[in-house]
Amino acid sequence: MKFFDEALITVQSGDGGRGCVSFRREKFIPRGGPDGGDGGRGGDVILKSTSQRRTLYPFRFKREFRAKNGSHGRGRQKTGKNGEDLIIEIPPGTLIKDAGTNALLKDFTQPDDAFVIAKGGRGGQGNHRFKSSTHRAPRFAQPGEPGQFLKLKLELKLIADVGLIGLPNVGKSTLLGAISSATPKIADYPFTTLTPNLGVVHTERGEPFVVADIPGLIEGAHNGAGLGIRFLRHIERTHILVHLIDISAVDTQNPLAGYETINGELAGYSPKLAEKPQILVLNKMDLPGAKQAAKTLKAKFKGREVISISALTRKGVDKMISKIVDRLDRFHGNEQ
């Protein structure tokens, strides 16, 4: 199954209606003046972010979007009808780029934001507008302005505050399920998670925050190994990363190997992502031998704070949430 986080579409705003050339014809008024009405405005193409949408999946089936043209002007100074706008709904977190140049046109970081991506053409003026003392019977009118045609690339980057990273099978999805109402698939084999999951964590203090669980990373992911690193884009916008380590899978000969693999893959994807603050969390502390292994590992981290939890029994999980909230608070404090 593919997670639809990219799409190529074309949009076309409506053409303005033509202005009309017409002269009044009424009984007893032999030479009526010009009365051609203006053309209507072409419809705009509007992009709108809405929380109802979570992926770019609908764009798999529909890729061409056209707003309606304005109607032509008519006699008796009747203005043509404006073309209807076309509203395209997208999930929050979508970036809109010019498909040719890759230039960023709009970044939808919030829901319920609307943006006119292609403006409809103006309607042409009818001949009654061109009447003057020297030109009483203009036999011309303006054509409508054509609409705009654009090729767009839509790119979804989920909006989450916290990203869960780690090797496959370390318990990322179990943890997401334990702290939010999300119900990701959990199983005792690598690559259970194939697409990102989001969960909202409600805390006793402060705002709820959003956690993204992404597929596990393995060595060489940035060169395409395993599921690759394409899902890392969904944690690019997070403030902090929770680096989850399965204590029962730590190599006692080389305890930091897995941790370093993950950081190497992050760096291979983007230095900016590698520099994000990480909270280190040891999971599966309920398993036998975990305490001893944790001791060995902690010694390697040389005093760096490490939180021990069991996502399964929830032991230590509240403490971890509290640390996350502290970090997020600090982050928001720094931002101002």
Ligand X SMILES: Nc1nc2c(ncn2[C@@H]2O[C@H](COP(=O)(O)OP(=O)(O)OP(=O)(O)O)[C@@H](O)[C@H]2O)c(=O)[nH]1
Residues that bind ligand X (CB under 6 A): 166, 168-174, 186-188, 190-193, 215-216, 283-284, 286-287, 310-312
Nearer to Mg ion, 15 or 246 (CB): 246
**Contacted entry of Mg ion, ligand X, none for residue 284, CB cut-off 5 to 8 Å set by kind:** ligand X
- Order of strands across the sheet with 45-49? 86-90, 45-49, 114-118
**Contacted entry of ligand X, Mg ion, none for residue 187, CB cut-off 5 to 8 Å set by kind:** ligand X
In Å, what is the CA distance from 120 to each residue of 10, 46, 77, 117, 142? 15, 10, 22, 10, 16
As measured in angstroms, the least distance from the Cβ of 190 to Mg ion is 9
Cα–Cα distance between 315 and 323 in angstroms, integer?
14
Of the listed pieces 21-29, 84-92, 158-166, 190-198, which binds Mg ion according to CB under 5 A? 190-198
Element (H, E) at 244: strand 240-246
127 lines the binding site for Mg ion (CB under 5 A): no
**Contacted entry of Mg ion, ligand X, none for residue 72, CB cut-off 5 to 8 Å set by kind:** none
Nearer to ligand X, 34 or 171 (CB): 171
As measured in angstroms, the least distance from the Cβ of 336 to ligand X is 35
Cα–Cα distance between 122 and 149 in angstroms, integer?
15
Cα–Cα distance between 281 and 319 in angstroms, integer?
11
Nearer to ligand X, 185 or 330 (CB): 185
As measured in angstroms, the least distance from the Cβ of 197 to ligand X is 9
Q: Which of 82, 125, 148, 193 binds Mg ion (CB under 5 A)?
A: 193
As measured in angstroms, the least distance from the Cβ of 316 to ligand X is 9
287-316 binders of Mg ion (CB under 5 A):
none
**Contacted entry of Mg ion, ligand X, none for residue 26, CB cut-off 5 to 8 Å set by kind:** none
DSSP SS3 for 142: coil
As measured in angstroms, the least distance from the Cβ of 245 to ligand X is 11
As measured in angstroms, the least distance from the Cβ of 161 to Mg ion is 19
Helix axes 172-179, 317-335, angle to 10 degrees: 80
173 lines the binding site for Mg ion (CB under 5 A): yes
Q: Which of 192, 203, 248, 270 binds Mg ion (CB under 5 A)?
A: 192
Cα–Cα distance between 140 and 117 in angstroms, integer?
32
As measured in angstroms, the least distance from the Cβ of 218 to ligand X is 9
**Contacted entry of ligand X, Mg ion, none for residue 310, CB cut-off 5 to 8 Å set by kind:** ligand X
In Å, what is the CA distance from 287 to each residue of 88, 220, 248, 259, 299? 50, 29, 7, 20, 20
| Number of shown-chain residues binding Mg ion (CB under 5 A) | 4
Backbone angles phi, psi at 118, to 5 degrees: -140, 120
Q: Which of 42, 181, 45 is nearest to 120 (CA)?
A: 42
Cα–Cα distance between 272 and 120 in angstroms, integer?
39
Contact 96, 108 (CB under 8 A): yes
Residues found near Mg ion in the complex (CB under 5 A): 172-173, 192-193
